[in-house]
Amino acid sequence: MKILLVEDEQKIADFICAGLGAKSVNVSHCIDGNQGYEFACKHTYDAIILDIMLPGRDGLDILRSFRRAGVNTPVILLTARNELGDRVQGLEMGADDYLAKPFYVEELNARIHALVRRHEGTPQHVLEVGSLRLDCINRRIDCQGKTAELTSREFSLLEHLMRSPNQVLTRGQLLEHVWGYDFDPCTNVVDVSIKRIRSKIASLAGASKMVGAIESVRGTGYRMNTR
């Protein structure tokens, strides 16, 4: 697999290149937006990892130019944890996924492979697991034509699980990603939120079989099963 990374922070770039390289992913690295745009237009990649905060042209401007130029390669945005507006704007502009810093390279690798597998040449704003669909822009879950609203935290938690299918995510990882700061490790806030999400899924007509899609991994955390 051949990936283009556009990232100006050398430590983060080295971390990604080393981590993905160890998994036999060929990474081309550009340090600024202009170079990244040039590479994306001249070469063929399976996916592009694009940081939003770049010197000169920012990532959203580059993404807009990609899509206007007909570059349909899947794009994963790298964002700061609190850049919600940028993430939503990026999805609306044609980004296929995003990952908030800091992150685990194993998760990035899993997302790249999942994205490349499902890519059909159009942006993916709806995540699917079985009959469950998550609208990443309108923040709703849908199952067999029925919808339910999610709170901001419930949405972030379910989205995080669905974007890392079949991967066990620890409670610590979920706390860090969704709540954004360290909680008491003994807190049950993740478990309570999972219970609420399961209840909302079960309330959808014919969705009772989906409750088990979020699997509890004893002593560790949770996993979103695709089976």
Alpha helix positions (H), 4-123: 10-21, 33-42, 59-68, 84-93, 105-118
Separation between Cα atoms, residue 87 and residue 91, nearest integer Å: 6
pLDDT over 70 percentage in the chain: 87
Q: Is this model's pTM higher than 0.75 or not?
A: no
User: Residue 203 — φ and ψ, nearest 5°?
Assistant: -75, -15
- Residue 207 has what pLDDT? 47
Residue listed under structure tokens 């690798």? 109
Cα 14 to Cα 28, 34, 108, 131, distances in angstroms: 11, 20, 14, 39
Q: Is the pLDDT of residue 143 over 70?
A: yes
Q: Is the pLDDT of residue 33 over 70?
A: yes
For 109-132, write each residue's pLDDT tens digit: 888 887 887 665 434 567 777 778
pLDDT band at 82 (very low <50, low <70, confident <90, very high): low
Element spanning 6, H or E:
strand 2-6
DSSP string across 147-166? EEE--HHHHHHHHHHHTSTT
